[in-house]
Structure 1
């Protein structure tokens, strides 16, 4: 598999297959939303669009980066989201990097959104689809976020090599600037467990596929075949 790792600004044209990575915290949050029962996630282009969607659909759940704000139900924190009952609900998410990255590749034939919590399922879907060329979009810090790059490189490796140890990739993510800022409270709208939740490998058994639906970019969970014992990733050493 030919893998490219690009920041959002480096996307000159729509790739055929894109994996958009935001570990801390957009797509960890998205995975938790599905884990809590959400039916779909609308990736909003702006805060105003998110609020307009909420106004038209009062039962939809709105999420944003940073501190709480009027019109938004919660913030972009897996630690806070894990206590919400989202069964059958539609979630609207707007973040600084993750949702922007997904919208930037909306013309791709296949768009996956990922973090460590869905890494193996994402890699397995790439293998199942026999993707020859994959562009990994490193969304954080103008493409320089090491937690996103580490996760992207891990998924790329797992898509082609069954024997891949996750420990070094998770260590890099844990030592990233984003992890430090979350742990130190530099960023707002943070739960104390957010970093640990973002570094939880393969917490969920599904991948997440984004596609255009009625002019909106909609993220949905996608089931993939379960792992055999021989295929399970190693985390130690």
Structure 2
């Protein structure tokens, strides 16, 4: 597989296949939302757009980066989200980097959103679909966030080698600037367990696929059958 690693500013045009990585914390939060029963996640262009969607759909759950904000139901923290029952609900998510990266490649034929918590399923989907060329969008710090780059590199390696060791990649992420800022309380709207939850490898068994639905970028979980499963089911 030909893997390319770019920051959001380097996206001159939409690639064919894009894996958008935000470990701390957008797509860890998205995975936890699905783990808590959410049906889908709408990726909002701006906080105002998120609030407008919430106004039209009062039963939707709106969340964003930073401290609690009027109009939003919760914040972009896996530690806080894991205690919320989202059974059958739609979530509206707006973050500083992750949602921006996904929206930047919305015209791609396949858009996956990922973090370590869904790394294995994401790599498996790339392998099963035989994706020859993949652009990994490293969303944090204009493409320089080591936690996102480490996760992207790990997924790329695991797509070619299912037994790839994650230890070094997880170490890099744990020593990243984002991890330090979360640990030290520099970022608002956090929970003490956020970093540990973001570094939990393969916590969830699904990949996350984003597609355009009625002009909205919508993220949904996708269970990926292995080639063995496909063969056994005919």
Distance in 2 (CA, whole Å) between partners of 1:51 and 1:6 is: 30
Query: Are residue 2 (structure 1) and residue 2 (structure 2) matched?
Result: yes
Shift of residue 226 of structure 1?
A: 6.2
Alignment of 1:1-237 (within 5 A): 1-225=1-225
Contact 2:128–2:227 (8 Å) recurs in 1: no
Point out where structure 1 has 5 or more consecutive residues left out of the alignment.
Answer: 229-237
Secondary structure of the residue aligned to 1:112 is: strand
Q: In 2, distance between residues paired with 1:158 and 1:25?
A: 21
Give distance in 1, aligned partners of 2:93 and 2:8: 18
Separation in 2 of the partners of 1:66 and 1:39?
Answer: 24
User: Residues 187-214 of structure 1, C-alpha deviation per residue, up to 9 Å, x if partnerless?
Assistant: 0000000000000000000000000000
Alignment size in residue pairs: 228
Inter-partner Cα distance in structure 2 for 1:226 and 1:193: 32
- Report how far residue 163 of structure 1 moved: 2.7
1:224 Cα deviation after fit: 1.0
- Deviations 1:69-114 (Å, cap 9, x if unpaired)? 0000000000000000000000000000000000000000000000
Find the aligned partners of 2:86 and 2:137 in 1 and give their Cα distance.
Answer: 28
Aligned mates of 2:227, 2:23 — CA distance in 1: 22
Residue deviations 1:23-76 (CA, integer Å, cap 9, x gap): 000000000000000000000000000000000000000010000000000000
User: How many Å separate the matches in 1 of 2:155 and 2:86?
Assistant: 28
Give the TM-score normalised by the residue count of structure 2: 0.96
Query: SS state of the match for residue 15, structure 2?
Result: coil
Once the two structures are superposed, residues 133-182 of structure 1 have per-residue CA deviations (whole angstroms, 9 ceiling, x without a partner) of 00000000010000000000000000001231100000000000000000
**Counterpart Cα distance in 1 of 2:192 and 2:14:** 37
Q: Structure 1 residue runs of 4+, over 2 Å off?
A: 225-228
**Structure 2 CA distance for aligned equivalents of residues 77 and 12 of structure 1:** 31
Report if aligned partners of 1:121, 1:224 keep a CA contact under 8 Å in 2: yes
Shift of 1:225: 2.4
CA distance in 2, matches of 1:60, 1:24: 23
